[in-house]
Amino acid sequence: IDRIRRAEKEVIAKQRKLETIFNTVPVGMLILNEERRIEQINWEAMKKSRQDFAEIYDQPVGEFFQCVNSSISPKSCGEGLHCSTCPMARMLNKALLLGESSHGEEFPKMINVDGVPTRVWWRVSAAPLFLNNRRNVLLIVEDITQYKLLQENLSKSCDFYLTLFENFPVLIWRAGINKTCDYFNRSWQEFTGGKNGERTDCDWQDLVHSGDYLRRCREFDSAFSVQRPFSLEYRLKRHDG
């Protein structure tokens, strides 16, 4: 009897530890039943809603997240006209019907924010669970909208400067972190007679004068290793030789 009691206490202690982890992790986590309704939700996910747990419990997950498709569907979450193309619905089906997990999928989603359809980005994972002999799914949702907006802005900024450099009346090239050049502007292409995408690091020995080539390599490697600007004059072969 004492052994059974100790075992029961150990099980209870482990359950409490898991509940503590579930409630305190800094990402939204929900446990859904086979009808895709919420059975448990952690504090981070609760922040996404202005409701208390009593209102959230047994709520369809699409309704909880204010999914645009869920709000216009006459049926339950996952059965609307556009739900067949929803990545989250696909992940939930995979976990509930096939017992397979999905990890870290990123996709945009349209949700209602204060009644206004708004595009957000999520990173979602879903894993099958069996609780009390019933099939459930653990859903983990991270809002990565700000990260994606930052990526988009950086990409636009990069595209802007490349467009600007493309028409500069001077020869411009760019090297990646592996020291291999991955961009040459139009002036460079016209001067050397190359086409965009043809010139790579393997061409430098053909383009730079033999008397300057080793000096150019030493200076470039030295500056690259400590990430400092450098200025260097060397003779470069023009397209006509």
Q: Is the pLDDT of residue 204 over 80?
A: yes
Q: What's the confidence (pLDDT) of residue 31? A: 93
Query: pLDDT digits over 71-98, tens only?
Result: 666 555 666 677 888 999 999 999 999 9
Q: What's the confidence (pLDDT) of residue 46? A: 87
More confident residue, 155 or 16: 155
Q: Is the pLDDT of residue 196 over 70?
A: no
Q: Is the pLDDT of residue 193 over 60?
A: yes
Assign 105 a pLDDT band (cuts: 50, 70, 90): very high
Query: pLDDT digits over 119-174, tens only?
Result: 999 999 999 988 888 899 999 999 999 999 988 888 887 777 778 888 888 998 88
CB 7, CB 15: distance < 8 Å: no
pTM of the full predicted structure? Answer: 0.62
Q: What's the confidence (pLDDT) of residue 124? A: 96
Q: What's the confidence (pLDDT) of residue 155? A: 80
Assign 55 a pLDDT band (cuts: 50, 70, 90): confident
User: Mean per-residue pLDDT for 192-208?
Assistant: 70
**Mean pLDDT for all residues in the chain:** 84
Q: Is the pLDDT of residue 7 over 70?
A: no
User: Mean per-residue pLDDT for 25-48?
Assistant: 90
Assign 52 a pLDDT band (cuts: 50, 70, 90): confident
